[in-house]
Amino acid sequence: MPYPASLLADGEEVALELHPHWRVLVLPVVALLVIVPVGSFAAAVVPAGDGQVVLRGLVAVLAVALLVRTTLVPLLRWGTTHYVVTDRRFITRRGCCRAAVGTCR
pLDDT at position 8 is 86
**Averaged over 1-8, what is the pLDDT?**
79
pTM > 0.85? no
Is residue 97 over pLDDT 80? no
The SS3 of residue 98 is strand
32-72: pLDDT as tens digits: 999 999 999 999 999 888 889 999 999 999 999 999 999 99
* Three-state SS annotation for the chain: CCCCHHHCCCCCCEEEEECCCHHHHHHHHHHHHHHHHHHHHHHHCCCCCCCHHHHHHHHHHHHHHHHHHHHHHHHHHHHCEEEEEECCCEEEEECCEECCCCEEC
**pLDDT, average across residues 3-18:** 86
